[in-house]
Amino acid sequence: MTARERKRDPHRCGACGTQFDVTYFDDRKGSRDVGSGLVEVPCPSCGRPRSVALPIGAEKTMIVEVDEAEADEGGGG
Ligand SMILES: [Zn+2]
């Protein structure tokens, strides 16, 4: 049994600028390319959907995590 490979794709919300990672399991087996599709991932901060290209089937295991490495606390008014 082999461990499933977890992929991580960094993204940035174009609306609020929040950086977040989309992680998922790539269930593609062998070298056969099943293609990829666009999945609408809601921004974890503002909820605005963002189109992300994922391998077919990967959206079932998709997890969205906010990247808090660079928190920007600007004085927004
Ligand atoms: Zn956002």
Distances 47 to 1, 7, 17 between C-alpha atoms, Å: 38, 22, 12
Residue 3 DSSP one-character state: P
Mean pLDDT of the chain: 84
pTM: 0.75
Ion ligand 1, residue ranges at CB < 5 A = 13, 15-16, 18, 43, 45-46, 48
- The reported pLDDT for the residue numbered 46 is 96
CB 25 within 8 A of CB 5: yes
- Ligand 1 centroid, distance to 20 Cα (angstroms): 9
pLDDT by position in tens, the chain (length 77): 667 788 999 999 999 999 999 999 987 666 566 788 999 999 999 999 999 999 888 999 999 999 876 556 665 54
